[in-house]
Structures are given as C-alpha cells and as structure tokens.
Structure 1
C-alpha cells in the first residue's frame, strides 16, 4: 500500500515464514497437533482447554535467534527513523490462509497497543501468534472443517497513531453486497472499540463512484480508548454526554476514509475490509492512516447475479415495445404503427447478440 501511495504508519512486518519457523522449533507443531486432537467435537470445555494449553506453549516458546535479532534490528531502525527512543508501537495480528479465499479471520486474533521496547515487542509478537488459537478461532475452523495447519499468522509492528477517531470500512455494503457503496463505521479514539464490538459505532454509507455521503446513522457512543502518555498506555474513558451523539467524523473525513478504502480496493483488485484512523497529530489533508487492509470474503466470493431468463425477458420486452409502438387505434380502426411483431422480435435478437 505504500507503493500505491497510501498513508501507512511507519513500521515493519513479520511474514508467515517467521511463524512457521517458530512452529518447527522444539517440536511445537507436533505438540499443537496433539492438543488439537484431544478436542471433543462440539464440546466448548475441551476447546477452551486446548486453547489455553496451546497459547501458553507458544507464548513460552523462544523466537528463533536469527528472527529475534532481525526484529530487534527492525525496531531499533524504526525508533531511529522516527526519532523517538523506545517508541510506542501497535503489534497487529493478521491471519491468512492462501488456499482458503472464502474464509474470514477478521477480529478473531489479538492486537496490542502502546507496546514499548524491543523485549515487549518480542513478547507481544508471541502473543499475536498465540491468538491464532483462541477458543473462538479454533471453533471457527473446526465448524468449517478448515485444517488448522493451513492458517498462518503474520504480524505488523506500527508506530502508534494518536487517533482522534478510528474504525473500519468495507468497499461494498456488507448487508447486501452492493459494490457501488462504501460503508464506514467509526467511534471516537482508537478503533479497537469498533473492531471488538464494544460500542455501537456511527455508520456512514458513501456512493463509491460519486464519493458522496448518502446516509448517516449516528449512534450513542459511551466509551472510547485513548492514549495517555503520562500513564504510558491506552485507557478506557467515558465519552461526555454532549459528545456521545456527535458524529465521530465530519463529512470531509468520511470522504477521506472512503478514498483510502477505494484506493486499497483498486490496488488489490478486490473488495477490501480496512482498518483506519484519523491521526490527531497530522494536518487534515494527510491525517487518514491506513492500518490494515484485507480482502472481503463473504459477498466478493459469491457469483454475480444471473440475468433474467432470456425467454421471459424477450417476451416482456416484446410486449412493452408492442404497446409503445401501437399505443392507440385511430377512429377508423387502423393502428398508427406499421411495425409487425416479427420485426420487433428480429430487432430484439440483434440487440441481444450485440450486447453479448
């Protein structure tokens, strides 16, 4: 997305190769396989037990030395680039399954905010990897018969954004699959309240072609996550009464988010589900940060609507054209049109061939 010109917070990413390397160390993969094999179908208690054991195993497994050194080097370079020693970062999980384009893992794994120092970054990378085996994630894959070994984890480490507002956006309408719309959900502060469903967010619908806001649904928003530098972390804060019913985005900000979402869709060539934030430290023309972009996996996998039955379509159009061409009879009983039904049928067939 950087090459596409999107505003992405500075950072670095661990590919799924790092996750694979961890699995192959110290027999971790085989141990996970054994624990998953102990799950009783449709038994939540056994899923929870396996989840706890696997997550503990991954969190306690040292990252292979070469990868750890690379992470420490990348974090040091990031701090130097930004000019902030031990810069606070977000450590974001991103599950992927290349052979399963219709599977959606959004919201199942953990993201950690305001992480400071190389040791803490390494610790929370392991926590991201471990979150691939939450009870919810295990149940999702089991219910859909998705082999656990096919799902991998990459991790993004990004400079923390001082978010005035944040949320998600989809480059189609998730209610009906309409690709001519962009749907944005937003709340004050950091976007995790939207992603996790902690609040009912504001909802904005944008016409993708005209880039116009066509619908606004402003919710009562009672809670926000904000950065508190003095406390060295992210804290929950109640939203004041007056602010609760105020739109978390101006129309200009809605359209700016829509442009970023549309840009992501054009870059990847498929509908996208993005996470974004309005950076309070940047000017309005440059303050929309793209935090994450993943393919939309529900409507975009469905077949395009089929045209109406050709025979029905042809008969319906013939009837309509016949009415239009022969609307009234003259007093003498002669029609005003001299076009015969056979000519109408021939014209329709030519048009259909041209269209196809």
Structure 2
C-alpha cells in the first residue's frame, strides 16, 4: 500500500494518481527529483473500510440522489469522519517507517494525488489539498487524513456532480516528498505557451518556495529562451513576496527591494534549467509543464505534466449532433478551435451567469476599442439557458469610424504617451482598489452587495479598456520596443495583471481585484 518513487512508472496513475505517477517516472529516468513515497489509492480505500466510512459514503450518495445541496451536506459529514478516523495498524506502521527512512524529523510536502477508476484521463488538478513544510510523524499522518478529506471538499464534489462522474469511483493517493528549501523556484514550459514556438521555452521564476509562482501570488520574472541556450527575452517581475519555511507550515514575507528589481536567475541557472527541461521533454516525447526549485546551485524537479492545451493543427472538433447544436453548423477556424479547446479543458462545465458576465466585461472592451476605429466585430459569444457559450450570429463589418482608424493606430504607436497613460490610470485604480480591500463583505446587506457588484463590474470594464488600449494593443504593434515600457510598468504596478482563474470558475484581475472578485463569488 506504499510505494517508493523508484517503484513507480507513469502507467501507475490508477494506483498513485497523476502526481505520484510522474514523480516515479522521473525518478526512474534519473531526473533529480527529491526523495519520497506514495501512499496508494488502495490504502485510502482500506482506511475508509476500517473506519466504516465506505458504507457511510455509499449511503450518503444514495440519499442525495444527485441533489447538490444534500450531497454537499453529506460530504461535510464525510470529511468530519475522515479527519477523525484511525489508520489501520499495518498502514500506520508502514507510513512511520517510510517517513523515518527519509531522515530524522524531515520536512516534507504532503500532496494529494487523485484519480478515478473508470476515468484514467480525468483531471482533478487543484481540487485537493497540499501541505508544505510538514514535520514529525503525527503531523504527516494528520496531513494524509486531511488530503483524504479534501477528496470530499465542496468544490471537488460539485465538479464531479456537474460532470456526471460517479462519486464513488474516485479515489486518492497521497505523495510524501522531501521538501527543498529553495532559494529560487518556478515553472518551465518546454514550448513557448504564447507563440507556440517549439524551439523556445518559457521560464517563470521568483524567490523562495515555488508555491508563490504556481499559485499566482507574485508577478514572477519571465524568461523566453531558445532550446539552444540563447536568452531571447527577459521581463523582470515585481516579485513582491516570497514563501519560506515557518515554525510550522510556511509563511509569506516581503522581498528586499534590491532583489525585486534584479533578475532572479543568472545565465548559468537558466542554462541548467534548459538542460533539465530538454531531458524531461525528451523522456516524455511531448511538451511539458515543469515545476522546479534551485538550492545551492542544484536544480530539483518537483513535478512535471504534459502541456495538454497545445493542440496540433490536425486536431478537429467532432461535428456530432451535440456539437452542431452549439456551433449551429458554422465552420470553426483554427484559432477559434484552439480557443474553444483551451476553455473546454480549463472550464469543462457550463458557465454560471455571474462568471460569464465578468468574463464578458473584460472581453467586451476589445470590441469597443476596435469599434472606435470603425471595425465592427461580434460581441462576446452568448450564453444559452443551459449555461453553454454559443456563437453570435452577427457578422463583421466597418462603419464611418474607419476614417479614425489611422489616428487611433498612431496614438497606440506613441509608446511614451501610452506609458504615461498607464501610470496615470493605475494610480486611480490603485486608490479605488485600496478602498475595496477594507470593505466588510461578511456583514454587507443585500442592497450593499448589489451596489458593490455593480460598481466592481464597471470598475473592471474601465480597467480592462485602459489596459487593452494603452498596454496590450500597443505591445502587439511593436512588442520589442514596448517591452521596456511594460517592464517598467510591471515593476511598479504588477498587481494589476489580468489573471484567468479558470479552475475557480472566475475571470478577474490580480491581485487585489482578484480578491475582490472572490468576495463577489462568496456573495453570489
């Protein structure tokens, strides 16, 4: 019921989950992965059985009869029982032995690795818990129980219900992995995720543990590099904070101003990361998304997964009757197909009305700016009664504003002017968002909540408009020249980058507006 990483292959997903399978595969391939072991999905099922929780779950699922409110109430009961459950004696002894084999009171990460018996390709990324800097066997055992309980978290249960997954078919393994007290960490994409260039990589890096980059808490440095070792482009992020070890778990602390302003990675470190990325990509024979850490000049690989959003030009959307219902018989071009594929992977569920409205609030501004120049494009895809995006029937055309197009284009090429515009509007938005941060959402009346939602919606529209018109569109016109300006703006106002939190069914703006939108979600 427990397997060391070196006993695991990538085919063992149903036994150890996706995380566990990849860590085992890389360990066998002699990739520098921190030591660890996996408590298998069979161990989870045995834990449920010994504590009579398996029958409790079975009866609770039957009782709910697919009613979401009832199911979530039952899931809360499941979580309570799991957290207070006892491990089978043999399993607990095995966990103790494996943990002590890592060292005396070793700091470890306790990571959930979920899977589904009849859905080997199902992705439950981000729906279960991870605990960092866990020390001591009792804390490890408690972390395992909490991971087990997170399989029945509200978000995970709702996701499975809406996707039609059998709640009883899911299981969970738990990865126990030795922590690396990294000086720098981040993610690496072995194919440029923006340009899709296969001869380029993108590296995102910041200080401390990698959680700050993976979770989007900081604006990390971005390095576009060639697979031949060439550094093509560097964008220095603001790197406001870093996550480090605390007495227990982790803490977030401020990064020194001098470190914020300079590159997190030097040329040698970039070179080593490129080598590691190439080795992993060659082993898997596909583009990979890699989490890494640097300590004492050594690269450690913490996780790797396929970049499934990079679809080949040969992929096509099935034109069966279900798809035709929503495409309305229209021919889907390559770019639209790629966008649909991306959203389907990240949001494989029907939109909720509020989610869609805020997404539209942002996207609508691109259309508004083009309309000023006489180019009339269809508005956002509409949403039907089932919560499914469908295509607009409106066509493309031009109007009399087309005579203003070249004047608007000229203004967008005035990069210094755009830079000053960005500086001015960011100060305004910074002031408004600072006020929002001090609102008491928990004690809002219904009327106050309504007013806040309306005001925040308008604020989001204005911010999106200004960002598109004075930052993103000009950067497309001359990205090399504008990169210097973007770097300067990012260094001061990085917290306003748009952040697509698709896993949480929200499209918002980081970091303060991101928090603001989360409060909206709570009051939805």
TM-score, length basis structure 2: 0.50
Deviations 1:53-78 (A, max 9, x none): 33323222222222111111111222
Give 3-state SS (helix, strand or coil) of 1:9's partner.
coil
Q: Distance in 2 between matches of 1:150 and 1:297?
A: 24
Closer/same/farther in 2, CA of residues 142 and 227 from structure 1, 3 Å limit = same
Task: For residue 28 of structure 1, report the CA deviation from its aligned partner.
Answer: 2.0
Partner of 1:252: 268
* Matching of residue 289 in structure 1 with residue 300 in structure 2: yes
Q: Which has the larger radius of gyration?
A: 1
Q: Among 12, 16, 19, which residue is 2:41 paired with?
A: 16
The answer to whether the 8 Å contact 2:51/2:86 transfers is no
The answer to whether the 8 Å contact 1:107/1:195 transfers is no
Partner of 1:68: 92
Task: For residue 121 of structure 1, report the CA deviation from its aligned partner.
Answer: 0.9
Closer/same/farther in 2, CA of residues 140 and 73 from structure 1, 3 Å limit = same
Q: Distance in 2 between matches of 1:297 and 1:100?
A: 17
* Matching of residue 225 in structure 1 with residue 243 in structure 2: yes
Closer/same/farther in 2, CA of residues 215 and 143 from structure 1, 3 Å limit = farther
Task: For residue 233 of structure 1, report the CA deviation from its aligned partner.
Answer: 4.6
Task: For residue 290 of structure 1, report the CA deviation from its aligned partner.
Answer: 1.0
Partner of 2:258: 242
RMSD over equivalenced CA pairs, Å: 2.9
Closer/same/farther in 2, CA of residues 129 and 258 from structure 1, 3 Å limit = farther
Q: Distance in 2 between matches of 1:151 and 1:86?
A: 32
Deviations 1:72-106 (A, max 9, x none): 11112221xxxxx2122221222234754654333
Task: For residue 190 of structure 1, report the CA deviation from its aligned partner.
Answer: 0.6
Task: For residue 275 of structure 1, report the CA deviation from its aligned partner.
Answer: 1.9
Give 3-state SS (helix, strand or coil) of 2:252's partner.
strand
The answer to whether the 8 Å contact 1:166/1:186 transfers is yes
* Matching of residue 298 in structure 1 with residue 309 in structure 2: yes
The answer to whether the 8 Å contact 1:96/1:152 transfers is yes
TM-score, length basis structure 1: 0.71
Note the residue ranges of structure 1 that are not aligned, 5 or more in a row: 80-84, 307-356
Partner of 2:406: none
Give 3-state SS (helix, strand or coil) of 1:163's partner.
coil
Q: Tell me whether 22-31 or 58-67 shows the greater mean CA deviation.
A: 22-31
Partner of 2:175: 156
Task: For residue 193 of structure 1, report the CA deviation from its aligned partner.
Answer: 1.5
Task: For residue 175 of structure 1, report the CA deviation from its aligned partner.
Answer: 4.3
Give 3-state SS (helix, strand or coil) of 1:92's partner.
strand
Q: Distance in 2 between matches of 1:271 and 1:29?
A: 39
Q: Among 149, 153, 159, which residue is 1:130 paired with?
A: 149
Task: For residue 224 of structure 1, report the CA deviation from its aligned partner.
Answer: 1.0
Note the residue ranges of structure 2 that are not aligned, 5 or more in a row: 1-25, 317-524
Query: Could you say which structure has the higher helix fraction?
Result: 2
Summarize the alignment of residues 1-356 of structure 1 with structure 2, pairs less than 5 Å apart. 1-36=26-61, 38=64, 49-79=73-103, 85-97=104-116, 100=119, 103-175=122-194, 178-208=197-227, 210-228=228-246, 231=247, 233-279=249-295, 282=296, 284=297, 287-299=298-310, 304=314
Aligned length: 290
Deviations 1:138-186 (A, max 9, x none): 3333333333344332222222211111122233344465544433322
